[in-house]
Amino acid sequence: MTEIKIEDKQEYFTNEYPFSNPPKLTEKRECLHCGETIIIGDFKVFKDNSNNEYICCPNAPRCDGTVIDWMPSK
């Protein structure tokens, strides 16, 4: 997995968010993999050998959580 730099994080996140209604980048989520509260806008993007891109936890590569592992924080 290779980290790629995103110029416009808002645009990227809105386009690539896997569910409907992308949240704001300023919102917080709890990552189920590392258990930490993260700010959505701190996301990282990694690309695998097949050029699939993943919206990953800000704690990547220490954490292997992706956007689908983020739950509303308490």
Task: Note the residues at the interface with Zn ion (CB under 5 A).
Answer: 31, 33-34, 57, 59, 63, 65
Cβ atoms of residues 18 and 66 within 8 Å: no
Q: Would you say 4 or 32 has its CB closer to Zn ion?
A: 32
Strand partners, 66: 56
Closest CB 17 distance from Zn ion, rounded Å: 17
C-alpha–C-alpha distance, residues 22 and 31, integer Å: 16
Least distance from Zn ion to the Cβ atom of residue 1, Å? 14
Decide: 45 and 31 in contact? Cβ < 8 Å: no
Closest CB to Zn ion among 5 and 62? 62
